């Protein structure tokens, strides 16, 4: 399992609020948005800093989507035991949503995979290519390995931030 986690990290790597709820769009700029995700649906202890992750372009509603939040320390990004928190939510189309109460306003990064067979592992084919969908905050590119923390990094301020991410599939 630890080897698979390390492989996951080697294949994959994974925020902006003003006075009200905002969206961090593909370019990282903020757009005012409607509130989403009730307290009962959010991971973590309620705080004044809430992150809602909206994942689009899933190929199916099978299985679940694992959304992992990493703190501002770049050394912890995709590292074993480096996560701040994780949510596993039912896959939904057209948008799957995960919600987190974060400890404080700060920089974070998110890594996501579509666990279509719900085996709680990021599956790959015989040559090591992902056989399940994956995504990162900022839709950070990962053509030849995992993106850097800086590519996936986004800033969350006090209040509510909504991050939009597009799921990608290798085949």
Determine the Cα–Cα distance for residues 82 and 73; give it in Å rounded to an integer. 9
Residue 148: alpha-carbon gap to chain centroid: 14
Please check the confidence at residue 124 and state whether its pLDDT lies above 90: no
Determine the Cα–Cα distance for residues 88 and 82; give it in Å rounded to an integer. 17
Which residue reads 């799921």 in tokens? Answer: 167
Q: Which domain holds residue 100?
A: 2-166
- The answer to whether residue 171 is domain-embedded is no
Q: Give the chain's domain count.
A: 1
Q: What is the pLDDT of residue 22?
A: 37
Structure tokens at 129: 């290519």
Q: What is the pLDDT of residue 127?
A: 75
pTM (predicted TM-score): 0.77
Please check the confidence at residue 14 and state whether its pLDDT lies above 80: no
**How would residue 143 be classed by pLDDT, with cut points 50, 70 and 90?**
confident
Task: Return the percent helix, strand and coil in the chain, to nearest 5.
Answer: 15, 35, 50
Q: What is the pLDDT of residue 64?
A: 97
Give the mean pLDDT of the chain: 80
Q: What is the pLDDT of residue 67?
A: 97
Lowest mean pLDDT among 25-34, 82-91, 98-107: 25-34
> Cβ(26)–Cβ(165) under 8 Å?
no
- The answer to whether residue 122 is domain-embedded is yes
Please check the confidence at residue 162 and state whether its pLDDT lies above 50: yes
Determine the Cα–Cα distance for residues 9 and 3; give it in Å rounded to an integer. 10
Determine the Cα–Cα distance for residues 76 and 82; give it in Å rounded to an integer. 4
Determine the Cα–Cα distance for residues 63 and 50; give it in Å rounded to an integer. 25
Please check the confidence at residue 155 and state whether its pLDDT lies above 90: yes
Query: Sign of dihedral through CA atoms 157, 152, 52, 71?
Result: negative
Determine the Cα–Cα distance for residues 150 and 87; give it in Å rounded to an integer. 22
The dihedral over CA atoms of 102, 104, 109, 113, expressed in degrees to the nearest 10, equals 0
Q: What is the pLDDT of residue 19?
A: 26
Please check the confidence at residue 148 and state whether its pLDDT lies above 90: yes
Higher model confidence: residue 13 or residue 77? 77
Longest dimension (CA), the chain: 48
């Amino acid at each position: 399992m630890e080897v698979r986690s390390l492989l996951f990290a080697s294949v994959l790597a994974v925020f902006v609020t003003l006075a009200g709820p905002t969206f961090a769009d593909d370019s990282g700029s903020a757009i005012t948005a409607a509130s989403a995700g009730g307290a009962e649906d959010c991971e973590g202890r309620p705080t004044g800093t809430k992150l809602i992750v909206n994942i689009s372009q899933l190929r199916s509603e099978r299985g679940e989507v694992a959304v992992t939040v990493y703190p501002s320390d770049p050394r912890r990004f995709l590292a074993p035991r480096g996560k701040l928190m994780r949510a596993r939510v039912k896959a939904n189309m057209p948008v799957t949503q995960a919600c987190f109460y974060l400890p404080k306003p700060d920089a974070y990064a998110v890594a996501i995979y579509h666990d279509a067979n719900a085996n709680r592992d990021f599956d790959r084919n015989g040559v090591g290519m992902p056989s399940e969908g994956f995504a990162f905050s900022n839709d950070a590119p990962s053509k030849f390995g995992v993106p850097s923390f800086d590519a996936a990094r986004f800033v969350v301020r006090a209040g509510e931030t909504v991050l939009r991410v597009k799921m990608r599939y290798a085949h």
